Amino acid sequence: MGKPQFLRDFWYGLSSRQRFWIRRVYYYPVDIIDKLSGKTNKYVPPRGQIYTGSPANANQYIRQGLLHLKHLKLFIDLQPNDSVLDIGSGVGRSAIALSTYLNSEGSYDGFDVVRQGVDWCNKGLGKDFSNFNFKYVSIFNDLYNTSELKATEFEFPYKDASFSKVFSVSLFTHMQIDEIQHYFHEIYRVLKPGGQCFSTFFFYDETDEEQISSQKDFNFPYKNGDYRLMNESVKSGNIAIHKTKIVQMLEQANLEFVEIIDGFWKGQNADNSKTEYQDILVFKKA
């Protein structure tokens, strides 16, 4: 958000190892300042270890997670006793907030393709909350993991009908169409009947396709059928999907479309009623 396009192209051109190393070095001075000034939290990683989303200080990081919790309560009626799956759990941004909300009858499971994030969460939240579990899954991703296992071949490591709620934040914005379709099938499998799902995307239709293809700094200039890419060489860099296409994809997985809530990533949608940058997709298993 707000990063010039040439910097995004440069960033996506680096290997995952290079990006992790640059973040650590770049934020090292401010991480030291935060530590010396007491502006840290045992569950919040140093900024240099936050590899997804904004590298915020502890207070900002917690506020971002609380916003996720607010959205989950509002859009999929998250309850304290829900069994929850977080796809792409990162370094615990959402999990921290959920640890203050889910009760002993509820549960949280999360998985991610970056081992350092999973290790951080297990040493903190996973250790202090017995109903919070984090798994590392080694899946290939242009941005984060060089494993040979493809996302289209990956089976979620959970039994059928295990969860009443499933969510993902800024996950499907970094996946290819066939990978997203496969994940939809897996979501259907692990959701309980009547279970609901919350996910964020970048969407467009005929009313704004021209704008998103050329708007300043954050645009999707490369068209491929019913979706557009930010970087033609890095397929998982960022993807925007036509709204009609995503509904068709849900139908193919026997999932029921509920609604799309536009975010403010497209400038004309920035108003006081929108608190999420990305677009929100709500769907369910009938």
- Write out the residue range of the structural domain in which residue 195 sits: 5-284
Q: For 116, list phi and psi in degrees, rounded to 5.
A: -65, -30
Q: Facing residues of 113 across strands? A: none
Helix (H, G, I), strand (E, B) or coil at 197: strand
Q: For 233, list phi and psi in degrees, rounded to 5.
A: -85, -30
Question: Do 280 and 261 form a contact (C-beta atoms < 8 A)?
Answer: yes
CATH number of the structural domain spanning residue 235:
3.40.50.150
pLDDT at 34: 86
What is the layout of strands, in order, in the sheet containing 227-229? 203-204, 239-242, 227-229, 222-224
Q: Facing residues of 200 across strands? A: 280
pLDDT at 273: 64
pLDDT at 199: 98
Nearest of 286, 260, 262, 282 to residue 273 by alpha carbon? 262
pLDDT at 1: 45
Mean pLDDT for back-to-back runs of 10 residues, the chain (286 residues)? 58 70 84 87 90 82 95 98 97 97 98 93 97 92 65 95 97 94 98 98 96 90 95 81 98 98 79 80 97
pLDDT tens digits, 267-284: 755 555 677 899 999 999
Bridge pairing between strands 222-224 and 227-229 = antiparallel
Question: Do 188 and 160 form a contact (C-beta atoms < 8 A)?
Answer: no
Domain count along the chain: 1
